[in-house]
Every structure is written in structure tokens, then in C-alpha cells.
Chains A and B, each alone.
Chain A
Amino acid sequence: MATEDARYKQSSQYRLWSFTPSHLATLREKTNTLARTHISNRLRASDSPVDPLPNFLTPDEEYTILNHFTLELLRAAPYCQLPTDIQATAAIFLRRFYLTNSVMTYPPQELIKTCIFFGCKAEGYFIRVQKIADTFPNTTGEMILAAEYVLCQGIRFAFDVRHPFRALEGTVMELRRLGDFDDDRINHAHKRTRDILKFSPLVTDAYFHYTPSQIMYAALAMADEELVQRMLREAFAGQGEEAKAKVWGVIQNCKEMLEKEPPEKMASYWTDPESTKAIKALRRKLIKCRDPDRADLVALQKARREEAVPKPKPKVGSDADEKVFGNGTGEGRDAKRRKVVPEGGDPFGPPL
């Protein structure tokens, strides 16, 4: 096996975030069921039980909402002046997050901001949270930070996302080197493929099912199929048709997926009456069935932090005695000593 394949298989993208379509569907159903059960129990246990229970979103409806907010994210990101790969990372974080969390549990309109902020961080682009907050109406830095931890857990601490953009640059160089096509044709395909990559794989499940190079070739095939065939001929020279046919089959499947969401949709989506009407209805439904406790992420974060503060142990005997004599095990005193003396340091501090 090519060592590049072996190496890709070590990446967190492959280990943690690649699934077969049926596995992906199962995960989405499971997430949806868990959220329904939790919210139902919560509403029934309320002192004035909510009756009847609201209609919950189906996994398909959740997916439609997720796609809507992925588009929102891609629409907002350019206002933060973010490079393409950071936008893409933010979008993939959002989609990964909502695989293990339901849109009924955590509000997606808040999570897109956190995804943009944390996407920057994960790509080593340290931007002030306030700068992102200023881009959105009615948003504070605190709101963005409130979901950061939840997001990190949701994406299973896999902060490295492999994108197909550099692969495209490499292929374009390779095509130029081969010299079989004139520059105009290559340039045209290059631009078109880049436009596709900036949109189509981010609003479909392409990243969950295909490798970056497969996605890149699928997008290139949408732009100019002959160029892909030429590259495959080159890559599989002397290796027989079978391996090549298999790879081409995968690329075609990926292409079919990308074709459902062409980049033109980015512009048409917001004006298409059918889709706007549908999403409006879904958002109304979502407001009725969402987790009442987790819509306010700032308050939730505060509560979680308070939970984290260790509760004082139930005390035996007199409080005052303990203060004077310590608690017998010497624990209290040691703790105090630790506070005063920084490790290895002089208790009176360094020389002036």
C-alpha cells in the first residue's frame, strides 16, 4: 500500500471522522433520539408538565437545518476576512459537532460563531474573540466563548482538518508539467474547481466519506473530466486497469454527491422562495422543541463552572478548632504551605 494512504489513515480525520453512509445515518438517528428522549423527560418532569409534548425534528429535518447554518457560516466568514482554509475548517467543525449533538440541544446560530472563532484558533490564526463578535449583530465575546468547550468535546478534540485545496494546487502543477493541455484550459478548470471546493464539499457529507484527494478529483471532474482521466492514466501507468477503475468509481460517487450542491447555490439559496419558506417553518418548529435549558449558552457555561467548584466537605467537629490545629491529617496545612511557597521558590520571593 502506498505509504501516503497509510499515513492518511493515522490522521484524526480518518480515525475519528470518516464513516460509511449507513454508519453516518445511524449516528444521526442516535443523536436525534437521545435529544428527543432527554427533552421529553425534561419537559414532563417540569413542575407544570408540558403537555402535549411538542413535535420534534426528524433526523432529516435536523440535516436541513444544519445545511442552512453551514451556508450561514460560509456567508458570514468572509466578513471576518478569513482565508479559505479557515472558513472550511469552521464549516467542517460545525458539521462534525452536529453529528454528535442535536440542533435541538445547542442553538446552531450561536455555534456557527464559535466554529468560526475556534476554526481560526485551530489553524493557528489567533484573532481576538471580540473581532468575531463585532461581525455579528447582538453578539458578545462571552457568548462565543461559552460554547467553545462544548464544541471541542463535540469534535472529539480533533483540531486538524485535511482540506483538498493544496491538493488542487499540486494537481494543477502536475498538469502543467505534463504539457498535454493548453494553459487556458488548465486555468479555467483550476478556477472552477476551486470555486466548487470552497462550497460543495462543505455543505454535503463529502468529508465524512471521501479523502481530500478524492474530493479534489471529483471537483476537478465536474470542471473538466478529461484532466482527471489524464492524471489517472499517469498515476496508474503499469498497474493494470482494475485499481484505476476502482478509484475512478469512488471519484464518480463523490462527484455525484458534490453535484447536488453546486457553488451557484450560495447566491441563489437566499432568494429561492421554496427553500426560504421551508427553513422558516423548520426554525419555527425548532423553537418549540428545543432543549429549554441549553439555549442560553452563557448561563449554561456559568452553571457548569459553578458545578466544577469543589463542594466543601461536610465538616465534623468545630470549625474553629480545625483552623487552629489543622484537620489532623495535615492536609490543610500542606495545602496552605503549597499556596505560600511556589515550587522550589523562596517563600519571600525572588530578590528585588
Chain B
Amino acid sequence: MAVSPVVVHSTDAPPNPRSLSSPLKTVTSAQASSNGTPVVSTAAPNVVAAAQATSLDLAEQLNEEEKRKYVKGKKLGEGTYANVYLGFLKSDPTKLVAIKKIKIQKEYTEGMAPDAVREIKHLQELSHPNIITLHSVFSSKNQNLNLVLEYLPLGDLEMLIRDVDRVRYGAADIKAWMGMLTRAVWFCHENFVLHRDIKPNNLLIAADGEVKLADFGLARSFSDPYKLMTANVITRWYRPPELLYGAKHYSGAVDIWSVGLVFAELIIRTPYIAGDTEMRQISLICTAIGTPTEENWPGVTKLPAYTTEGEIHPVRGREYYMSFFGTVGTEGVDLLMKTLILDPKKRITALGMLKHEWWNKDPKPTRKQDLPKKSGGQEKIGADLKRRPGVIDDDKTAKVARKLDFGAAK
């Protein structure tokens, strides 16, 4: 049902006259006591003056320093979560950046939004050619967070996959893109970070063709053995069976499953397992890959949300995959099958993937400067970055947003 949003015109409120006058002028009215008691030791508080104060703490100075390094240019995108601007380095105007200005979330009453905290936390630590670079974070005077991100003007992988009419690519291109994605995921896991939202439109493309993993709004550090995690992560189409079954304790294998489905999608140019509900997603996995059972996945029936419906499908064999995904060759299919193993304990790891023989077979991966490109990416980076990280916009049919319950612990 359509609900018309309540529009609050906060800017229509009359301006606070105090904020327009000199900050120090208004201090005293409260203090002009006429009862003869001399007030000497304290000054009356004046928060407006403090808010406007021109002298800066060291913290504010450091913040200003960061802010002054960049010049903000035209707006690339506008959204409810953030606006994205083109920017450049003041010291070198040829060095472009994307400045993502996160808006204050009125409806989230617990302070800074968790997705912003997660994104900043993890991007501050991860520095790798296949992970979007966070150059800087600063706050503007009105307390908006500004993330200075690498400028990635060529859109995302989803645009290339979908534009079947105009974009052609082959096995060597897929190998190059998969190599970049696998290295990005390997680096995350090597640094004990789970991304938890890998999908084609979170893979942005730099001017030189390098693919970069973005959107760390659902990322988290590896959990200690006794600490539970939420199962409600990863966009449904790319969500592994253990999460659909409600596993609270999982590993890097959840990301590998998503990588496998991106791989499959690159080959067939359409999402491989696209369920419109979680139940449907499970039954599609059962038919496309195989029904999880105690035989192929010991312990699976103990998972909180384990269900099967109808007949048990045996795990699909090599021929089945060859018939759909044969364009990447036998080794390519072998790698794909290992990423889509039902039991997460048996699923290949990111390191295992990098060591796979497929990379050494012909054809050699395309050099990044020769990879297929698509024009009109500038609007796209705006659209990609302004999204609230970790939430899918609903114009992309059926990819219903997973809502995280940030109120509950973990």
C-alpha cells in the first residue's frame, strides 16, 4: 500500500535570531543580576557561541585540514541516505575523487547509522587495488559526514552484464573480472573482514578498468567462537544456504557463495538463482544445485530454519554445469562448482580460489585496459554511492531489501 510520506518543512521555521547576531553579544542578559550580588567567577553558558566558535580545538583543526585538501564540485547523485559530489584534490586538480556526504538520518534515533559506522570502520583499514579506497573522512560544520572515496567513473559490473545488446565480452574478460573480485575477497578475509553483500552492482569499475569491491555497509569482523552473528545479511539472490537456514555462526564461505553466483551470472548474463522469497530461494537452490541433506552436509538439519519441500534433488554433476557454463572451460566450471558447494566447510576458500588452475589455462585474462567498457558511468557512480550501503533500492525488481534489526544486539 502506498503511504504518503509526511513532509516536514524544517527549513520553513523562522530563523533563530540569536544565531544571526554576534555570538558574544547575547551572553549577558541572564547575568545582569540586579540583586547586588557580584557575579565574578563564572560566565553564563552560551551554546550558540560555542557552536559558532571560530577558534578551533586540535580535533577541529585536524578535521579542517582534511576538509581543505579537497574541492567539492558538481553533484553526481542525490538520495535519501547520501549525496555524492565530484571533487578533486586542491593540490592537484587532475586527481578526481567522489565525495559522499551522508545525511543525518532523522528516523534513526540511535545516533550515527550503523551502516555508516561499518563502512568507515572497514574501509579505513583495507587498502588494496581491488577495494574502493577511502581517502579521507571529515565532518562539515553542520555535522554531516563526508567520505572521500576513490572516483570510479565507469559504472558497475551489473550494467555490463545487463546490457546484452551493446556490451560483448568473452571468457578472457570474465577471467579478468573474476580475478579482481577474488583478490578483493581474499584481501577482506585475510584481514578478518566478512563483506556480506557481494553482488554485481557492488563491483564498481575504475577509469583504467580495474574492478573494485564497494559498499561495506554490511561488513563485519570475523566473530569469536562464542559470539553469534545475524543470519539476515547478503542480498537474497546471492545468499548462501547456511544463511537461508538461519546459521548464526558462519565464515568467509558466505562471501564465496556470492562470488560463485556472480561468476555464474557473468557467464549466463542473468541472475542464476533469483528467488522472490526466502522459501523460493531455498527451493531454487535445491533444484539448481542440489538439496542439502545430512549426507552431503553433516549437521544441516540442525540449523534453526532448515526445511526441504517436495522431492530431494541430488547434487548436480559436472555435465549439468558444463551445459550451462561451458564457455569458461572445464577448469572454469570446476572452480564454479567448488564455490557452490552446499556445505560451507567443504566450499573452496578465497585463497583456494586464487590457487586454482583455471587462472593459468588459456585464454589468459584480458589486460584491464582492454576490458569492455560502457559509457555514461558518471551518473552511475552517483547512483551507486548515494545508496544507503547494505540496502537495495527497489527499482531493481524483486531484490527486496534485507532489513537489519539494528536494535537487537549484534
Contacts and interface: CB of A to CB of B under 8 A. Distances in A.
Nearest to A54: B41
Given A12-B124, A38-B55, A121-B112, A292 B2 contact: no
Contacts of A101: 57-59
A163 to B, nearest CB: 11
A303 B51 contact: yes
B6 interface: no
A126 B28 contact: no
Interface of B: 1-2, 4, 7, 10-11, 13, 15-16, 19-20, 24, 27-28, 31-32, 39-53, 55-60, 62-63, 78-79, 110-112, 114, 117-118, 120-122, 124-125, 127, 137-139, 141-145, 191, 220-221, 224, 227, 395, 406-410
A300 interface: yes
Nearest to A157: B137
B50 A300 contact: yes
7 contacts: A41-B55, A43-B43, A100-B58, A121-B111, A299-B45, A308-B143, A352-B2
B110 A128 contact: yes
A306 B19 contact: yes
> 4 smallest A-B Cβ distances: which pairs?
A308-B142, A47-B28, A293-B50, A100-B59
B51 A349 contact: no
A296 B114 contact: no
B143 to A, nearest CB: 5
B2 A350 contact: yes
Interface in A122-177: 122, 124-129, 145, 148-150, 152-154, 156-160, 166
A27 B141 CA distance: 23
Interface in A268-327: 288, 291-296, 299-300, 302-312
B340 to A, nearest CB: 28
A308 B141 contact: yes
B159 to A, nearest CB: 15
A344 B42 contact: no
Contacts of A188: none
Given A47-B28, A121-B114, A124-B221, A11 B125 contact: yes
A46 interface: yes
Nearest to A287: B42
A14 to B, nearest CB: 10
A125 B410 contact: yes
A341 to B, nearest CB: 12
B51 A307 contact: yes
A42 to B, nearest CB: 7
B40 A50 contact: yes
A35 B125 CA distance: 31
A329 interface: no
B80 to A, nearest CB: 9
A7 B125 CA distance: 9
A34 B62 CA distance: 13
Count chain B CB atoms within 10 A of each CB in A10, A42, A124, A303 and give the residue with the most: A124
Given A11-B125, A101-B59, A303 B48 contact: yes
B329 to A, nearest CB: 33
Contacts of B138: 157
A72 B215 CA distance: 37
Contacts of A42: 24, 43, 49
Nearest to A131: B409
Given A46-B24, A148-B111, A105 B11 contact: no
Contact of A126 (B59, B143, B410): B410
Contact of A306 (B4, B16, B110, B410): B16
Contacts of B111: 117-118, 121, 129, 145, 148
Nearest to B33: A48
A299 B43 contact: no
A31 interface: yes
B51 A148 contact: no
A304 B19 CA distance: 10
A47 B27 contact: yes
B100 to A, nearest CB: 13
B37 to A, nearest CB: 12
Contacts of A302: 47
Contact of A31 (B58, B127, B145): B58
Nearest to A146: B111
Contacts of B1: 352
Contact of B59 (A10, A129, A154): A154
Contacts of A331: none
A304 B50 CA distance: 9
A157 B124 contact: yes
Contacts of B48: 303, 307
A22 interface: no
Nearest to A344: B395
B55 A307 contact: no
A38 B43 contact: no
A55 B24 CA distance: 22
B113 to A, nearest CB: 10
Nearest to B127: A10
Contacts of B117: 121-122, 159
Given A148-B112, A160-B124, A308-B142, A38 B58 contact: no
Contacts of A304: 51, 142-143
A302 B56 CA distance: 19
